[in-house]
């Protein structure tokens, strides 16, 4: 979910830029490494970025100064890790701020931190955790996608509460989170289903490439990937 242009005080805009910048810089270096060492993965990386752009553009109004939407970061975080996904999210958020009046440049750092960094980290860790306990591939993808979305809205609630704490920051956080939950909980579940279906499509059409990515990130063998035996 996006915090809209000009809504955060300047000090918090600067703070979130400074926090997010190292992740994005490292992600750029990781993408350069992918392009240099695995050029065949460019297409899947582009598809992951397009998925973030399309899903996160499906905006609906939420708490004043923000909006609710799917994030689309689950695929990128599973296949390429959270720092690469931070770059994909940053590119998406810049285009949306400039072309769609969705989010904003002043709030870009905060939006990148919630949607592009912490959400993908949560999804990545969830996927690795599920696979480590031998959970199925599609259930693991579903949980990762849902958590990436839910954690994004939790972090956005924290960001808003820090900027506008009111008389009790905990109460303020619970108010923000409660309002977001009305739309974000079902959105995240729908997103998890969609990403699971799309992931199964990818593994059916590019089994070796997807299996190679998952083996690098999660030590999954080719035969463990749906569609790999086709």
- pLDDT tens per residue across span 47-78: 999 989 988 887 765 555 556 678 999 999 99
CB 110 within 8 A of CB 9: no
Q: Which helix (H) or strand (E) holds 144?
A: helix 137-163
pLDDT confidence tier of residue 223, bands split at 50, 70 and 90 = very low
**Coil, strand or helix: which one is 221?**
coil
pLDDT at 99: 83
Return all residues near 75 (Cβ < 8 A) that are at least 6 apart: 47, 48, 51, 52, 145, 195, 198, 199, 202
More confident residue, 27 or 180: 27
Q: Which of 71, 67, 25, 21 is nearest to 49 (CA)?
A: 71
Query: What is the 8-class DSSP label of residue 38?
Result: -
The CA distances from residue 142 to 2, 118, 139, 155, 180, in Å, are 22, 17, 5, 20, 20
Least confident stretch, 19-33, 92-106, 135-149: 92-106
pLDDT, one tens digit per residue, over 143-165 is 999 999 999 989 999 999 999 99
The yes or no reply on domain 2-224 and CATH 1.10.1760.20 is yes
Q: Whole-model pTM above 0.95?
A: no
Spatial strand order of the sheet with 2-3 comes to 2-3, 66-68, 60-61
Write down the residue that tokens 């980290």 correspond to: 121
pLDDT at 195: 93
pLDDT at 179: 81
Query: What is the 8-class DSSP label of residue 210?
Result: H
Mean pLDDT in the chain?
Answer: 86
In the chain, the N- to C-terminal Cα span, in Å, equals 38
| Angstrom distance (rounded) from CA 97 to CA 185 | 24
Query: What is the 8-class DSSP label of residue 68?
Result: E
The torsion angles phi and psi of 225, rounded to 5 degrees, stand at -90, 130
pLDDT at 55: 87
More confident residue, 141 or 182: 141
pLDDT at 225: 43
| Angstrom distance (rounded) from CA 229 to CA 207 | 8
């Amino acid at each position: 979910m996006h915090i809209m242009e000009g809504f955060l005080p300047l000090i918090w805009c600067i703070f979130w830029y400074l926090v997010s910048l190292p992740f994005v810089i490292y992600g750029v270096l990781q993408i350069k490494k992918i392009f240099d060492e695995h050029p065949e993965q460019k297409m899947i990386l582009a598809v992951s970025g397009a998925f973030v752009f399309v899903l996160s553009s499906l905006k609906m109004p939420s708490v004043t100064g923000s909006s609710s939407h799917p994030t689309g970061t689950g695929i990128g975080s599973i296949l390429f890790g959270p720092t690469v996904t931070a770059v994909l999210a940053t590119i998406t958020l810049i285009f949306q701020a400039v072309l769609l009046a969705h989010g904003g440049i002043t709030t870009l750092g905060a939006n990148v931190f919630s949607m592009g960094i912490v959400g993908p980290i949560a999804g990545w860790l969830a996927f690795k955790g599920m696979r480590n306990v031998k959970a199925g591939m599609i259930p693991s993808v579903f949980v990762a996608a849902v958590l990436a979305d839910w954690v994004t809205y939790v972090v956005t609630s924290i960001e808003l509460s820090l900027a506008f704490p009111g008389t009790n920051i905990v109460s303020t956080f619970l108010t923000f989170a409660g309002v977001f939950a009305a739309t974000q909980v079902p959105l995240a579940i729908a997103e998890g289903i969609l990403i699971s279906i799309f992931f199964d499509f990818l593994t059916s059409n590019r089994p070796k490439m997807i299996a190679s990515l998952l083996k690098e990130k999660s030590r999954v063998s080719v035969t463990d990937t749906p569609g790999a035996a086709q």
